[in-house]
């Protein structure tokens, strides 16, 4: 089943308004959830929408909250997300980081007390489409053992980087765990092994078996000790810049709320002049594409490239939906 973009956005918007969101917030959030599904990131589009509504019902997400500036230091500002909608809070923070970058070359917003940003790549795309380069990250609840330990203490703290490329911006959006819990679950349900090792089995051996990893919860940081270190550093930097919660403090809540995020934007045109970024990207990507694929006759993509194809396809043919989830949302308006 496929749903046209406008129809999906319209449904999300109406439901959010029913849940108490002001029209402007409802409209921006609805567009963002629809974009996520449209770009093929279904897990953080339609499929996540019901849980977001449940967080509003539980009082975790305050529909009336707006992010508020707490303190300015020049090129960096600290904002309070006031437990508002995570995706619109994050988009407002990236907007503001770009404003600061337009003035200072680089701009940074540290956002405390916000909610799950859904698809981190959204904020990379947002910056790259406006001609900015960006680095941003969020912390999470504790969901990974630090390297060398057995117990969960660190977050998988997704780290996003983005660069303006004509037609399809380069956006790398990855959790610092090799696989999210959602990815482990979906592989297990599909009866599939992971494509590469994702964690440890009960005997302490690396495995591609999602069920074995779910027994130990010992998921693997990317690059083993390296991702573990980056996760810690990003959490610390975010906690200090925002004066918000670090991962272990987020872990005290019943659900994953009151998160800390950091948004850094670089103004490409201001620092290097018009077209320099696009020309640089074109030269780098031309060199990249001249490599032979790993599998003879195969192909490979830069991060963000496939999403652009999916977007075009889903705009034309409608966005694929899980019928059960779509129908459950239709009932929200009955």
* Catalytic site positions: 44
CA distance 324 to 105: 47
- Is position 183 an interface residue for a second copy (rule: CB under 8 A)? no
The one among 206, 211, 214, 217 contacting a second copy by CB under 8 A: 206
CB of 256 to a second copy, least distance (A): 17
- Is position 310 an interface residue for a second copy (rule: CB under 8 A)? no
The one among 10, 237, 310, 325 contacting a second copy by CB under 8 A: 237
The one among 230, 250, 257, 314 contacting a second copy by CB under 8 A: 230
Identify any residues that bridge with 265 across adjacent strands, giving them in sequence order: 107, 134
CA distances from 159 to 78, 190, 306 (A): 19, 27, 19
- What track of x and - describes contact with a second copy for positions 8 through 47 (by CB under 8 A)? ----------------------------------------
- Is position 104 an interface residue for a second copy (rule: CB under 8 A)? yes
Neighbouring CB atoms inside 10 A of 254's CB total 7
Contact in structure between 149 and 156 (CB atoms under 8 Å):
no
Distance, first Cα to last Cα, the chain:
21
The one among 14, 28, 248, 311 contacting a second copy by CB under 8 A: 248
The region of 30-38, 79-87, 88-96, 158-166 touching a second copy under the rule CB under 8 A is: 158-166
Contact in structure between 175 and 215 (CB atoms under 8 Å):
no
The one among 6, 189, 190, 294 contacting a second copy by CB under 8 A: 294
The one among 4, 63, 197, 318 contacting a second copy by CB under 8 A: 197
- Is position 79 an interface residue for a second copy (rule: CB under 8 A)? no
- Is position 68 an interface residue for a second copy (rule: CB under 8 A)? no
Give the nearer residue to a second copy in terms of CB position, either 233 or 322.
233
The one among 92, 266, 314, 326 contacting a second copy by CB under 8 A: 266
Give Rg (Cα) of the chain. 20
Measuring CA to CA, which residue among 70, 91, 79 is closest to residue 160?
A: 91
- Is position 288 an interface residue for a second copy (rule: CB under 8 A)? yes
- Is position 243 an interface residue for a second copy (rule: CB under 8 A)? yes
Q: What are phi and psi of 250, to 5 degrees?
A: -60, -35
- Is position 281 an interface residue for a second copy (rule: CB under 8 A)? yes
CA distance 295 to 63: 49
**Total residues interacting with a second copy, rule: CB under 8 A:** 87
Measuring CA to CA, which residue among 284, 308, 259 is closest to residue 80?
A: 259
Residues in the chain: 334
Strands (E), 58-141: 68-72, 76-80, 106-114, 132-138
- Is position 253 an interface residue for a second copy (rule: CB under 8 A)? no
- Is position 125 an interface residue for a second copy (rule: CB under 8 A)? no
Give the nearer residue to a second copy in terms of CB position, either 38 or 277.
277
Contact in structure between 162 and 185 (CB atoms under 8 Å):
no
- Is position 145 an interface residue for a second copy (rule: CB under 8 A)? yes
CA distance 316 to 19: 30
- Is position 181 an interface residue for a second copy (rule: CB under 8 A)? no
The one among 172, 183, 211, 325 contacting a second copy by CB under 8 A: 172
């Amino acid at each position: 089943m496929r749903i046209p973009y406008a129809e999906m956005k319209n449904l999300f918007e109406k439901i959010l308004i029913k849940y108490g969101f002001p029209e402007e917030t409802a409209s921006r959030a609805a567009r963002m959830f629809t974009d996520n599904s449209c770009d093929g990131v279904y897990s953080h589009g339609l499929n996540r929408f019901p849980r977001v509504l449940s967080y509003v019902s539980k009082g975790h997400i305050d529909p009336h909250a707006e992010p508020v500036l707490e303190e300015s230091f020049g090129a960096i500002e600290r904002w309070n997300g006031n437990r508002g909608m995570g995706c619109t809070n994050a988009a407002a923070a990236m907007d503001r980081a770009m404003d600061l970058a337009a003035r200072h070359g680089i701009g940074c917003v540290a956002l405390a007390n916000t909610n799950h940003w859904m698809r981190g790549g959204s904020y990379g795309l947002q910056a790259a489409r406006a001609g900015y380069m960006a680095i941003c990250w969020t912390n999470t609840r504790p969901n990974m053992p630090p390297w060398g330990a057995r117990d969960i203490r660190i977050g998988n703290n997704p780290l996003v980087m983005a660069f303006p490329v004509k037609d399809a911006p380069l956006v790398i959006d990855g959790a610092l765990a090799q696989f999210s819990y959602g990815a482990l679950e979906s592989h297990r349900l599909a009866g599939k092994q992971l494509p590469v090792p994702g964690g440890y089995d009960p005997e302490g051996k690396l495995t591609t078996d999602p069920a074995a990893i779910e027994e130990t919860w010992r998921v693997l940081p990317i690059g083993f000790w390296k991702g573990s270190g980056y996760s810690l550093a990003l959490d610390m930097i975010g906690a200090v810049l925002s004066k918000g919660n670090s991962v272990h403090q987020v872990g005290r809540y019943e659900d994953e709320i009151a998160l800390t995020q950091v948004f850094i934007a670089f103004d490409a045109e201001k620092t290097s002049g018009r077209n320099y970024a696009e020309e640089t990207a074109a030269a780098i990507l031309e060199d990249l594409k001249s490599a032979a694929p790993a599998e003879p006759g195969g192909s490979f993509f830069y991060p963000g490239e496939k999403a652009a194809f999916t977007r075009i396809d889903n705009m034309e043919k409608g966005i694929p939906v899980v019928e059960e989830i779509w129908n459950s949302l239709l009932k929200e308006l009955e």
